[in-house]
Structure formats: C-alpha cells, structure tokens
C-alpha cells in the first residue's frame, strides 16, 4: 500500500519550514489544522493565511480518514490537479462547455459529480462558480477545500460554503488559488495515519 507521508523531503523544504516557524507560531493549532495552515502558508509564502484560513479539526480528521481510505479527489482545474503530487484526481474541465447561466467551470463540477458521486474530496482553487455549483448539488462531500481566488464572487462563494455546514477548508479574503488549494489537500495526504503513530 502506498504511504504518501513517507516521502523524501528536500532540504530546501526543511529549511523553508524552519524559517516559517521562526516567524509564525503554529503550536496552538490542532494537528491537522496545523498541517493545513503550515502547508498553505509555505506554498504562498504568505503568513496572513494563518489568520485567514477557516478549518475545523473534526472535519479534517474525518476527511483525512476518507482520503487515506481511497475517497476520490476532484479538482476544478488542471493546475490544482498538477499540484496534488501523490494521488490521482478527477478534473472534467476539458469535457465541460459553457451555456446560458452556466460557466464551463460549473459544468465541469456537474460532470465530475456524475462520475464520482457522494463522498469525494473536492478541491476548488480557481473558479468561484465551480464552488457555487458544488453547493447546489447533493454531493455529500468528505471535504470541500474551497479556496477560489478573485475579486468577483470568491469571498461570497467561500462564505456560502461556510454557511452551508459542509465539512470545509476555506478562507475569508479574496486570496486563494490553485497552489494553496492543492497545498491544503497535500497537507492531509502527507500527514501520517493516526495508527501509524502509535
């Protein structure tokens, strides 16, 4: 069985984390929340994510279990998929088409849901309309990483995600993007299973 957390960590990453932790105290976060916050901050070199991200440890624990049990991972764009380095993903953007009242990104989410069904982890880092579309579906996700970026619709879509009650990682500001969305998923992927630590 593949163990994504057993990976060779480059010395540059080790030094980057050391410098980040010298400037940012993350010791008060619960384990998976800390892993997500640190990897997102590291991916963007933006310490502001430490107070901008919204995470729930209980949701992350359940999502971590689902991910390591093989739940599908769906991304809104290929750039997010490219950043998820140790897991196959589903991205249907190439097959999607825009139409009246429907963006290509939103259509891709519909197509992906038809393919994977409930219980997936959804990683949205680009299009607010993809996140908005996901919220209209009865997707029963294991987790929604909703970190779309932009000045139009991004803040509102992330607020709607938080208000939906779905298990989620989001942030409050306009910031986001493919790199931070994939980083949040990788944080869960790289974190060892609890039973491996006992």
Which sequence positions are flagged as catalytic? Answer: 42
Secondary structure in 3-state letters for 27-61: CCCCHHHHHHHHHHHHHHCCCCHHHHEECCHHHHH
Q: Residue 129 has which token pair? A: 């309309």
The Cα angle at residue 125 between residues 120 and 127, in degrees rounded to 5 = 100
From residue 77, give the alpha-carbon distance in Å to each of 46, 80, 171.
22, 6, 19
From residue 44, give the alpha-carbon distance in Å to each of 16, 59, 100, 159.
12, 23, 35, 21
The Cα angle at residue 134 between residues 58 and 2, in degrees rounded to 5 = 55
Residue 183 CA to residue 56 CA, distance in Å, equals 17
């Amino acid at each position: 069985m593949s163990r994504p957390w057993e990976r060779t960590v480059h010395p540059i990453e080790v030094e980057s984390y050391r410098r980040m932790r010298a400037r940012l105290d993350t010791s008060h976060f619960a384990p998976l929340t800390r892993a997500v916050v640190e990897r997102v901050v590291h991916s963007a070199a933006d310490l502001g994510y430490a107070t901008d991200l919204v995470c729930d440890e209980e949701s992350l624990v359940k999502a971590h279990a689902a991910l390591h049990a093989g739940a599908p991972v769906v991304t809104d764009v290929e750039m997010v998929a490219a950043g998820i380095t140790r897991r196959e993903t589903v991205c249907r953007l190439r097959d999607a088409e825009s139409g009246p009242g429907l963006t290509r990104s939103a259509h891709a989410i519909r197509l992906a849901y038809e393919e994977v069904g409930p219980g997936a982890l959804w990683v949205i880092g680009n299009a607010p309309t993809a996140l908005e579309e996901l919220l209209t579906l009865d997707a029963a996700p294991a987790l929604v990483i909703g970190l779309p970026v932009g000045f139009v619709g991004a803040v509102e879509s992330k607020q709607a995600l938080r208000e939906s009650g779905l298990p989620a990682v989001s942030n409050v500001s306009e910031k986001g993007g493919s790199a931070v969305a994939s980083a949040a998923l990788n944080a869960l992927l790289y974190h060892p299973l609890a039973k491996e630590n006992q």
